[in-house]
Copies of this chain bind each other. A is one copy, B any other.
Amino acid sequence: MNIMNLFEYATLISNKVDYYIFNTIKGRPAELYEASLHYLKAGGKRLRPLISVLSCRIAGGGEDVAIPGAAAVEVLHTFTLVHDDIIDKDDFRRGVPTVHRLWGIDMAILAGDTLHAYAYKCLLGAIELGIPLERVLKSVEYLTKATITIAEGQALDMLLPLRQNINPEDYIEMVNKKTAALFAASSAIGATLAGAKEETMKKLQEIMIYAGIAFQIRDDILGLLGDEKVLGKPVYSDLREGKMTILVIYAYNKASDDEKKKMRLILGNRAASIEELREVADIIKRLGAIEYADSLADSYAEKAVSMLRTIESVDSEALDMLKDVVEFMVKRNY
């Protein structure tokens, strides 16, 4: 299975999932639904649904069995984006203005809440497909657990201070909860709907935790190195928002007192000029943070890939595609 075929399959699944989502999320008032569907209409890779579908196939299920779960994780992901963007005061996402910029913070809070509830509604559609109730209920449990974990990860992210040296382990815990947990749940839900064995489920989740952590570290790096067009949002926005990326944590721990002072002054300072932000970016690069982050991402990617080799599946095509997805998630894209 080469990348071209994966891309075609991803498009197919994306279309199926979107059809399901847009048929499920309907109602009034119109403003609430427009705000709720804004990011879903603006694009997105539908990476999590693809993971659900492939995990379902690996566990022996047909791809349609996974669609309610695949839709659920995408809708849940979108809910977290809407609320995160309020918290991070982001102005752009997927190349369009953020929900709270267009409809205001109040409506954005409600749109996020609406999507959160619709994630469950999407998943419950599995009942109509005749999927055994215990599998549906188990999937509801995975979705719930992941949502709690994501909220905890977001809170940890918000609370990580730049006042002292931060342990990279604290960062990994935060990323594990904030980002990797939903990848793991995406896989678990897809596999559960197919009635996967406990052992396969455990392995798939562990793989996705590793891949998710590597994915977030690469995203941190891209945030520092990428240009506006690739990011869909202004450069240095992570620095301006004072986000505790692995780059900032590593660099701050290595920095001289003068550099620490500068970092504290500029990071999270919304009045900082682009020159000042670049200066801090240069400090971070000079202290070797990118090399460190890259090797950290490599180590998690390696764990994911080697554990993937131990998975057995009757559907070898699906397994090959999942390998490609993991490669895509953990690869250097900068």
Contact = CB atoms under 8 A, between A and B. Distances in A.
Nearest to A25: B148
A314 interface: no
A279 interface: no
Interface stretch (A56-64, A120-128, A263-271, A281-289): A120-128
Contacts of A118: 148
Contacts of A144: 117, 120-121, 124
Given A121-B148, A140-B120, A83 B107 contact: no
Nearest to A109: B83
Query: What is the oligomeric copy number?
Result: 2
A63 B34 CA distance: 42
Nearest to A147: B117
A12 interface: no
Nearest to A148: B117
Contacts of A130: none
Contacts of A155: 29, 31-32, 107, 110
Contacts of A148: 27, 114, 117-118, 121
A106 B151 contact: no
A240 interface: no
A140 B124 CA distance: 9
B156 A29 contact: yes
A68 interface: no
Interface string A304-326: 00000000000000000000000
Contacts of A152: 27-29, 32, 114
B147 A137 contact: no
A137 B141 contact: no
A29 B174 CA distance: 10
Given A152-B29, A152-B32, A113 B116 contact: yes
Interface in A124-146: 124, 127, 133-134, 136-137, 140-141, 143-145
A140 B28 CA distance: 22
A246 to B, nearest CB: 19
List 4 tightest A-B contacts by C-beta distance, closest first: A32-B155, A117-B147, A120-B144, A114-B151
